[in-house]
Amino acid sequence: MKYIKLSSLLVLLLINLLNDFVYAQEKPNIIFLMTDDQRWDNMGIYGKPEFNTPNIDKLGEQGVVFDKAYYAVAICMPSRVTMMTGRYNSNHQVGFVAPTDYTLSQDDFLNGYPALLKKAGYRTGFIGKVGFTVTEKATRPSTPKEYYYKKNMGNVFDFFAGSETYDRKGFVMWPETDSVLKDIYKEGRQNSGRTLRTGEAMLRFIDTQPKDQPFCLSVSFYAVKHDKDTDMYIPHFNQFKDQELSVPDNWVEGDNEKLPVVVKDNARGVYLHKQRSSTPEMYQRLVRRFATQGYSVDDQVGLLVAKLKANGMLENTVIIYTSDNGRFQGSHGLFDKCLLYEESVKAPLIVYDGRVSREKQGFRENALISSVDMAPTILSFAGLDVPKSMQGRDISGILNKTQDMSNWRDAVFMEDLFLADMFKERYKENVDEINQNLISENKSYRSHGIRTDRYKYFVYYEHTPKIEELYDLENDPLEQHNLVNNTEYIETLKKLRKKTEQLYQEAKK
């Protein structure tokens, strides 16, 4: 009798173990690929074949390409936190300048998608640029001198190879016993560049992945940013070095007199344009180098897909490809990002799901998507509930075409809380006073606004009087004609003002 009971218990135990194994196998692997400062149209799938991105293009052709995806905030630190936590910049308060210049607290970090997936049994990895700091409590300033990655992130990531901004400065990796990982980042290693190193570490993570556990790997490329020789893999430059790349119709040589005065006098993108992209020669030099870096990233995407296929993982893997923000590259007479014109806030977004048949993918989507949607969507892929702290929406229903679009959003909210003059003062104790002085001196160009299916509206809300911009993107996609003073658009303007204020109040809750 005892033996029968024991046998029954063993059978039940085996059944439970088998169910757990099958459940783990059913959970998809998730890979979140993010580039740095990659403008949305600097790749073939978005209409610029001259950039030569065949692997990204193929990922898009076999997945879903979003044509109206937008950043909730278009500068690296707050944008990365927004995508990890599913919260708006005005809510999480992590950014470069006061008053939103806090680090990310441990509690908030533990409510981001990597920690929640880790808690659910996923193996988690992070490779590349972190771009923000996690501390026990949210503290100021957000850019401390030390980052303590292992101490503050070691309980979330099983595999880590990253740093704040460069993989040759303050770089940290674990597990410390992984000799192959150490060799990838060894100083003086030949035939290596920062993007290739990131790619090799990515493949190393795949090679060390247990077969009976799902994984989530976040890869944050240091490209496509900066343009020194050390930022590029020079052998990839040869195909672009003599190429004449197309120039956007809204590129401005020299100064752009149409910019609002507060922007022209204070925004970093104005003087950076003069230094970097204000002549045809400067423009070609820079964009060739950005094209080189984009090609290097594309090369790693191809190697990743091949590795997943070889390891029998591709059919159970979701791959998301995006960037942290855009870049003007001379459009509007600007360089840099932040400001709410399309080149800065429009995002490349491709989602490939190996579980879905080709017949049900391979399409382009016009639904309005926000970067704040990334975290809840990733949790949804894993079958997890989305915590109430997340403000974004799960887009999986749009991917599988089950979403009732009458219940989808009719506008995305975006904001720019960065001031160049405040960034210069970020380590001073009286930053709040300095901030108030800038506002009272009418030097603030902080803005927020919305993108609807047809229109873009934003307002420089700390300026007196407020400065507004309104564009009909259906007829003016390059944002050349501000319609704020056009009497034909008075009712449209009123509606967009009201909607912007509504979404702002919701965002900062």
Question: Averaged over 85-111, what is the pLDDT?
Answer: 98
**Burial class of residue 178, CB neighbours in 10 A (0-12, 13-18, 19+):** middle
Mean residue pLDDT across the chain = 94
- Here the tokens at position 389 are 């702290």
Residues in the chain, overall count: 509
pLDDT > 90: percent of the chain: 91
**Burial class of residue 436, CB neighbours in 10 A (0-12, 13-18, 19+):** middle
Cβ proximity of 195 and 297 under 8 Å: yes
Alpha helix ranges (H) inside 159-313: 179-184, 194-207, 261-266, 268-276, 280-310
Does the pLDDT of residue 123 top 60, yes or no?
yes
Closest CA to 93 of 129, 156, 140, 163: 140
Does the pLDDT of residue 22 top 80, yes or no?
no
The bridge status of strand 64-70 relative to strand 363-365 is: parallel
When mean pLDDT is compared across 1-5, 127-131, 446-450, the lowest value belongs to 1-5
What pLDDT sits at residue 165? Answer: 86
Question: Averaged over 314-323, what is the pLDDT?
Answer: 98
Residue with tokens 């219940």: 407
pLDDT > 70: percent of the chain: 95
Q: How far apart are CA 133 and CA 114, in angstroms?
A: 15
What pLDDT sits at residue 7? Answer: 52
The domain defined by 414-507 carries CATH number 3.30.1120.10: yes
User: How many C-beta atoms lie closer than 10 Å to residue 111's C-beta?
Assistant: 19
What is the H or E stretch that residue 507 is in?
A: helix 490-507
pLDDT confidence band for 325 (50 / 70 / 90)? very high
Q: How far apart are CA 257 and CA 248, in angstroms?
A: 18
pTM: 0.94
Does the pLDDT of residue 114 top 70, yes or no?
yes
Question: Averaged over 145-149, what is the pLDDT?
Answer: 89
User: How many C-beta atoms lie closer than 10 Å to residue 248's C-beta?
Assistant: 18
Listed as own residue / partner, the contacts of 151-158 with beta carbons closer than 8 Å and 24 or more positions apart are: 152/106, 152/109, 153/109, 153/126, 156/109, 156/110, 156/114, 156/115, 156/118, 156/124, 157/114, 157/118, 157/124, 157/125, 157/126, 158/118, 158/123, 158/124, 158/125
What pLDDT sits at residue 166? Answer: 86
Q: How far is CA 338 from the centre of its chain?
A: 13
pLDDT confidence band for 26 (50 / 70 / 90)? confident
Question: Averaged over 111-133, what is the pLDDT?
Answer: 98
Q: Comparing 454 with 6, which gets the higher pLDDT?
A: 454
Does the pLDDT of residue 148 top 70, yes or no?
yes
Question: Averaged over 426-448, what is the pLDDT?
Answer: 97
Helix (H, G, I), strand (E, B) or coil at 48: coil
**Burial class of residue 150, CB neighbours in 10 A (0-12, 13-18, 19+):** middle
pLDDT confidence band for 3 (50 / 70 / 90)? very low
pLDDT confidence band for 189 (50 / 70 / 90)? confident
Same topology, domains 28-403 and 414-507? Answer is no
pLDDT in tens, 341-379: 999 999 999 999 999 998 899 999 999 999 999 999 999
Does the pLDDT of residue 283 top 50, yes or no?
yes
Helix (H, G, I), strand (E, B) or coil at 451: strand
Q: How far apart are CA 88 and CA 85, in angstroms?
A: 9
Does the pLDDT of residue 20 top 80, yes or no?
no
The domain defined by 28-403 carries CATH number 3.40.720.10: yes
- Domain positions in the chain: 28-403, 414-507
